[in-house]
Each structure stands twice: as C-alpha cells, then as structure tokens.
Amino acid sequence: MNQTALQLAYLAAAGAFILALKWLSAVATARRGVVVGAVGMALAIGGTLLSPEIVSYRWIAAAFVLGTVIGVPMAMMPMTAVPQRTALSHAFGALAAALVGTAEYYLRTVSLSRFTMGALAIEVLLGFLTFTASLMAFGKLQELVPTRPMTYPFQNVVNLAILAAAVILAVYLVLHPGQTELFPVIALLALVFGVLLILPIGGADMPTVISLLNSYAGLAAAAMGFVLDNKLLIIAGSLDGSSGLILSIIMCRAMNRSFTNVLFGAFGQVHAQATAVQQSTVRSATPEEAAAILDAATSVMVVPGYGMAVAQAQHKVRELTDLLGKRGVNVRFAIHPVAGRMPGHMNVLLAEADVPYDKLLEMDDANSELPQTDVALVIGANDVTNPAARHDKSSPIYGMPILDVDRARTVMVIKRSMNPGFAGIDNELYSMDKTLMLFGDAKAFVTSLVKELSSPA
Amino acid sequence: MSADLMTQLYILLLATFIGFEVIRRVSPLLHTPLMSLTNAISAIAVVGSIVIAGRQETGLSTLLGTAAVTASMINVVGGFLITYRMVKMFKRRRSDKP
C-alpha cells in the first residue's frame, strides 16, 4: 500500500472515530457508533499492515493472537467487574505508549529533534505513571490491595518530590538526548510515582481517578502521535484525553470536590473523627410491612448505590419493580452520578439486569420528581442521600449534590446495620420520622419483598 | 519550528475541541460505554506499535514493539467487544424481550 492510500485510510479512520463518539451520545444510535468505530480501527490496522515499512509479520502475528486471546475474555466479564476491567485496559493502553516511546528513544536517540524529544518525554512519563497507577486502581477495585486510603507522614511531599525529580530529569534529557543512562531512571521514577499516587485514594473516589487515568492514557497516545508524526494518533489520543477530562470534571462536581482534593486529600482519613456519637431512635419495619407500603404507593423511586451491586441484588430489584409495575405502581430509579465505581456504572448494572433505560432518571430529573413520590426506596446508597449535604455547613459532605430522598412522602432504607457510610458520617435521613429502616442484606431483603408481593393477598 | 509540527499542534487543538463538544453531549446513561469506547479508540496506538515491531531494526525495539502490539490489541479486541455488549443491554421497554 502506498503512502497516499495509507494516509487516506488513516483519514477515514479519524472520521469514523469522531462519528463513533457522536453516535454514542444516544442509546438509539449507540450500537451503530461502536460498529463504525471498529470499522475505522480495522481500516487503520489493515492499512498499516500493508505498508512497505513492515519487513516481517512473525512477531506482529504472534502479538495479534496473544492480544485477542487475552482481549476476548476481558470483554466477557460481568458488568460488576467493568471498573476493574477498565482500569486494566487503561494500564495496557498506557503501557503500549510507554513501550513505543522507549523503543523510539533507543532507535533514534541521535536524530531526535528537541521538540520530538519533548513529546517523547511526555509520552514516556505519562505512559509509565499511568501504567502503574492503573494497575493499582485495578488492584483496589479487585480488592487485591486494601481499598481504604493508605497514608503515611509527608506523603504528599514525597509524591510531589518524586514527580518533580522525574520531570526535572526528563527536561534535562530533552536538552541532552544523548544521556541515555538517564532514561531508565526517569521510567523508574514514573513507575514508582504511579503506585504512590493511588495509595491514598479510597474506593468511593475511584470514579474520578479512573476518569483521570483515562485522560492520561489518551494524552500519552496523543504524545506518541507527535513522536511518530502520526496525525490519526494525535486525533484519537486527544478524543480520549478530552473524554477522560470531561468525565473526571463531572465526577468531581458530583462530589463537590476538586482534583487536588481527590488526589491529595485522602478522603475518609480526614473525616474519621467526624463520626459523632449520636443516639437517635430509628424506626424499622419488617418485609411484610414494607411490602404493604410499596403495594399501596402510586409512585416509587428506587435509589440504588454501590451496596446494591456488592450484594448482587440488581436482578432481584428488577423482579421487585416488575411486580410493582404489574400492580400499577410507577417505579423509577434515581441515579446519582457517582453511584458505582466508575462514571455511569449503575446504569450499566441496571441495564444488564433488564431494567428499561427510560426508567433511569438522572439526579436533576429525579430531584424534581421526588417531592411528588410516595416511597423512596434506598438500596445500598448512603452519603448521596444525606440531607446534611444541603444544610449542615459543618458536615464534611456539605455542598455535595445529593438525591433529595428526604422530600419523598415515605423513605425506606435497606441497610445491613447503622454503620456510617464511606465518609464516616451519620446520615440524619435515618432518624427522620418518615423513614423506615429495613435491616438486612440487600439481596435477602428484596427477595423477601418479592415473596410478599407475589403471594396473592 | 517546522511546518509539520505546526500542523500537528493545529490537529491537537481541533481534535480536543471536537472531543469536548461531541463528548459533552453523551448522556450520563452511557458514560461507562463512553469510557470503554474511547479507550478502545485510543488503542489506535497499535499502528505505531505495528511499525516498530514490523521494521525489526534491533532486538530491543522488536521486543518492545511486540509487547506494545499485544497490549494495544487487548484493548482493540476487548474494548470494542465489551462496548458493543454494553450498549446492546440498554433496552427501552420490557416488550423488547423475547
């Protein structure tokens, strides 16, 4: 294939990628979007394979087979494992960029222009640090590494010092590309920094972190485009980079926190002392009572949180909503943007459980519906329902946008115990007069609700 | 600063703006498939890796290139497949089911 044809294939691929993302904006066109993206990818790969630069296919073929053998099972994971899987794929993407950067550096050390060397340094720094950071995020999500924030004295100082050292050495290398012995040191510092960056981050901050890593992996690919003078790579990398950035901004806003606070704040630790000893009386209800209340309602808003996914209760919840739907109850779901472990995670979990997507309401829509709702049924969500976020200036979560569950006529909360949530704060929702606590495992409790409602009364 | 470089910078600028505009419109409903699709798309790094692995200049570059092709291929195959699986799950009404 000659150069012009190859460049045209790349151009078509770039168009396909933009179209893919555009079509992904709505469910109706989303499938088409994925297909056109895959076609673009096939064109670009096919064109590259036919380019005259390739002298041997042996290693490429081996890598294709190996990549497919690993990639297919990774696509078949259950939806609960999608955050882990995504973290792992960020790691692979970043690793590819870092390895190509390393290979280019050693191949072309003498001929690299200062600018190319700069792009290469960015590619390698971002690539290696995103690689280990994503592996750490994977470890935390998979619970191979403790999910609680791990902190030690002067953590931020140490981390920033390592990053600064890596950047300073990289700048020096850009000015003196011949200093090849510096390259492994920079790579090592970036790898170490990636690990340290994720240590202090807790499970509930994962949606932001995973988006940020998405962005870094994209930027590393864009930097690779500069090094290889490949415009398609620049385009695909910047699409990925801006997507990750937008998602992390949305996640930060949904938690009313800043990037610096997420990355250096070690949430959970700071607020540990905020748990006040508050002896309040709560009312609880049995499955029979709860089922009767649900049955009598005209509208029910289910508020699912990560706890629902942990208990694997989503299929039972769907059964419950089916039963209520048959009895003429209007059931919908209120989805907080940070529900789950990555952006949009809860929607995918419910879609997998066959909940129709027009029943899933975004936070703002849900909040305008909640005051007219008979029953809000909270399953495995905590901090995102705490009214203290609206009015208690001393609360650590003050200012965080929440689902106004307390404005529904009756609130029912399925919860294992009265233990506080992730932020370690009491939820005043639980002691409100209109609130009924349904104590038990989410799946077991919903199962007994289903039983109550399906037995003819 | 070469003309090539300027072109690259313009492309970066324009692609970033297109990215922001297109992705801003994606419904929060689809944010997880969005992340896995952009991840699959940025696995286009595979083309750079193929060239490095295929030119077979030095042992080291072939090794690194092959590893990079493997890593990107995992994302190409896995990324598009899982995104397709996800978007297929979103159904409007119960009647869609057999």
The pLDDT value recorded for residue A274 is 43
How many angstroms away from the CA of A182 is the closest CA of chain B?
18
Interface test with A, best of B27, B31, B60 (most A CBs within 10 A): B31
Helix axes A206-228, A231-254, angle to 10 degrees: 160
CB contact under 8 A, A103 and B61: yes
Collect all residues of chain A within an 8 Å Cβ-Cβ radius of residue B33: 24, 30, 34, 344, 348
Instruction: Give the full edge-to-edge strand order of the sheet including A299-304.
Output: A360-362, A330-335, A299-304, A375-379, A410-415, A435-439
Per the document, the length of chain A is 457
Q: What is the pLDDT of residues B37-51, one digit of tens each?
A: 999 999 999 999 999
Interface test with A, best of B74, B84, B86, B96 (most A CBs within 10 A): B74
CB contact under 8 A, A60 and B89: no
Segment (H or E) for A379: strand A375-379
Residue B6 lies in a domain: no
Counting beta carbons within 10 angstroms of the beta carbon of residue A243, is it exposed (0 to 12), middle (13 to 18) or buried (19 or more)? Answer: buried
Residue B62 lies in a domain: yes
Q: Which CATH homologous superfamily contains domain A281-454?
A: TPP-binding domain (3.40.50.1220)
CB contact under 8 A, A41 and B44: yes
The CB density around residue A185, as the number of other CB atoms within 10 Å, is: 15
The pLDDT value recorded for residue A307 is 86
- In three-state secondary structure terms, A427 is coil
Say if residue B98's pLDDT is above 60.
Answer: no
**Nearest C-alpha neighbor of A301 from the set A381, A386, A360:** A360
What value does the mean pLDDT take over residues B94-98? 47
CA gap A259, A208 in Å, rounded:
8
Which residues of A are catalytically annotated? Answer: 383
CB contact under 8 A, B39 and A89: yes
Residue B7 lies in a domain: no
Pick from A40, A100, A229: CB nearest B45: A100
The pLDDT value recorded for residue A383 is 85
Pick from A24, A233, A354: CB nearest B37: A24
CB contact under 8 A, B12 and A222: yes
CB contact under 8 A, A348 and B34: no
Strands A410-415, A330-335: pairing is unpaired
CA gap A256, A245 in Å, rounded:
16
How many separate domains does chain B show?
1
Interface test with B, best of A234, A346, A350, A360 (most B CBs within 10 A): A234
The pLDDT value recorded for residue A272 is 41
The DSSP annotation for A303-315 comes to EE-HHHHHTT-HH
How many angstroms away from the CA of B59 is the closest CA of chain A?
10
CB contact under 8 A, B32 and A71: no
How many angstroms away from the CA of B30 is the closest CA of chain A?
6
Q: Look-up: residue for tokens 């696995």? A: B43
Tokens of A162: 């390592």
The pLDDT value recorded for residue A302 is 96
Measured between CA atoms, the residue of chain B closest to residue A244 is B35
CB contact under 8 A, A75 and B74: no
Residues A260, A262, A266, A271, Cα dihedral to 10° = 110
Helix segments in A255-333, DSSP class H: 259-264, 287-296, 306-310, 314-326
CB contact under 8 A, A342 and B32: yes
The pLDDT value recorded for residue A257 is 81
Pick from A31, A221, A337: CB nearest B87: A31
Collect all residues of chain B within an 8 Å Cβ-Cβ radius of residue A357: 29, 90-92
Provide the number of CB pairs (under 8 Å) joining chain A to chain B.
367
CB contact under 8 A, B94 and A354: yes
CA gap A279, B73 in Å, rounded:
56
CA gap A319, A441 in Å, rounded:
17
CB contact under 8 A, B92 and A48: no
Measured between CA atoms, the residue of chain A closest to residue B23 is A243
The residues in A 241-270 lying below 8 A from B, measured between CB atoms, are 241-244, 246-247, 250
User: Could you tell me the pTM of the whole model?
Assistant: 0.90
What sign has the CA pseudo-torsion B52, B56, B61, B64? Answer: positive
Range of the domain at B85: 28-92
- Residue A145 touches partner B, C-beta closer than 8 Å: no
How many angstroms away from the CA of B50 is the closest CA of chain A?
7
Residue B14 lies in a domain: no
Helix axes A231-254, B31-42, angle to 10 degrees: 150
Segment (H or E) for B51: helix B45-55
pLDDT (tens digit, 0 to 9) for every residue of chain A, 457 residues total? 688 999 999 999 999 999 999 999 999 999 999 999 999 999 999 999 999 889 999 999 999 999 999 999 999 999 999 999 999 999 999 999 999 999 999 998 878 888 999 999 999 999 999 999 999 999 999 989 888 888 888 888 899 999 999 999 999 999 998 889 999 999 999 999 999 999 988 877 888 899 999 999 999 999 999 999 999 999 999 999 999 999 999 998 888 888 777 766 654 444 444 444 455 678 889 999 999 999 999 999 999 998 898 889 999 999 999 999 999 999 999 999 988 889 999 999 999 999 999 999 999 999 999 999 999 999 988 889 999 899 888 887 888 999 999 999 999 999 887 766 655 677 889 888 899 999 999 999 999 999 999 876 5
Say if residue B21's pLDDT is above 50.
Answer: yes
The pLDDT value recorded for residue A151 is 82
Return all residues near A293 (Cβ < 8 A) that are at least 6 apart: A285, A375, A410, A412, A436
Segment (H or E) for A335: strand A330-335
CB contact under 8 A, B71 and A335: no
Segment (H or E) for A415: strand A410-415
The pLDDT value recorded for residue A154 is 84
Residue B16 lies in a domain: no
- In three-state secondary structure terms, A331 is strand
What sign has the CA pseudo-torsion A308, A313, A317, A320? Answer: negative
The residues in A 49-108 lying below 8 A from B, measured between CB atoms, are 49, 51, 53-57, 59-60, 62-64, 66-68, 70-72, 74-77, 79, 82, 85-86, 89-90, 92-93, 95-97, 99-100, 102-104, 106-107
CA gap A253, A221 in Å, rounded:
27
The pLDDT value recorded for residue A273 is 42
Strands A435-439, A410-415: pairing is parallel
CA gap A335, A361 in Å, rounded:
6
The pLDDT value recorded for residue A457 is 54
Pick from B52, B54, B94: CB nearest A56: B54
Helix segments in A327-374, DSSP class H: 345-352, 363-369
Collect all residues of chain B within an 8 Å Cβ-Cβ radius of residue A206: none
How many angstroms away from the CA of A326 is the closest CA of chain B?
12
